[in-house]
A and B are shown apart, each in its own frame.
Chain A
Amino acid sequence: GQSLEQPSEVTAVEGAIVQINCTYQTSGFYGLSWYQQHDGGAPTFLSYNALDGLEETGRFSSFLSRSDSYGYLLLQELQMKDSASYFCAVPNNNAGNMLTFGGGTRLMVKP
């Protein structure tokens, strides 16, 4: 089976940088994705890493280390609108996108 661990809550101030970590245990590895979800809203895709290293998309970056079964999402120049839950997720197999999500990290951005 698949399991993912991430911190339940993180607090940071506007303009700061925050890193949300994710460790995973999988029977096979087919990439690590990150999704953002505002309260009552739909999960929205942020980033995907299939290979080791850093992927940058604007203020958000995602990193993967397959040897450590570890990844993180880096949010820079935090804005109030970044307050949301962030989920890491892995596919269960290589023939589909049946994702298993981590428990989610609730990010609170304060003024």
Chain B
Amino acid sequence: AAGVIQSPRHLIKEKRETATLKCYPIPRHDTVYWYQQGPGQDPQFLISFYEKMQSDKGSIPDRFSAQQFSDYHSELNMSSLELGDSALYFCASSKDRSNSPLHFGNGTRLTVT
């Protein structure tokens, strides 16, 4: 079965650089979510999209932005990177917004040096 695909798997950037993370949701899933997980921490919700429109916003810094494209893939753009942005970034998708299980991708591990 198709899963959520994220790229790249690993990314190393320097402080103040920018990064773009990509996510391809499961086909026919209409909702995409981005989560950030620091070492030893629980996933923190960043932002979500329903049918290509932003639907919910969590603890996403102003330096970050995201969008969902016509083919349903989503990108998380991160600028002016800080050391504290080093984390695992997960994308997840669900069939709909009403308590359907979230299917997570394998994540992008971002390291900021």
Contact = CB atoms under 8 A, between A and B. Distances in A.
B99 A45 contact: no
A31 interface: yes
Given A43-B43, A101-B42, A103-B42, A96 B105 contact: no
Interface in B53-101: 55-56, 58, 90, 92, 94, 97-101
B97 A96 contact: yes
The 5 closest A-B pairs by CB, nearest first: A45-B101, A101-B42, A42-B104, A98-B56, A96-B97
Contacts of B33: 97-98
Size bracket of the B interface: 20 to 34
B83 to A, nearest CB: 20
Interface stretch (A10-18, A65-73, A74-82, A87-95): A87-95
A100 B45 CA distance: 7
B58 A41 contact: no
Contact of B97 (A31, A48, A97): A97
B101 A48 contact: yes
Given A42-B90, A96-B31, A97-B33, A102 B101 contact: no
B90 A99 contact: no
A94 to B, nearest CB: 8
Most buried by B among A50, A94, A101, A102: A101
Interface residues of A, number: 26
Contact of B56 (A42, A92, A102): A92
A99 B101 CA distance: 10
A30 interface: yes
Contacts of A50: 99
Given A98-B33, A100-B45, A103-B42, A45 B102 contact: yes
A42 B50 CA distance: 22
Contacts of B48: 96-98
A96 B55 contact: yes
Contacts of B50: 96
B106 interface: yes
A48 B42 contact: no
A45 B103 contact: yes
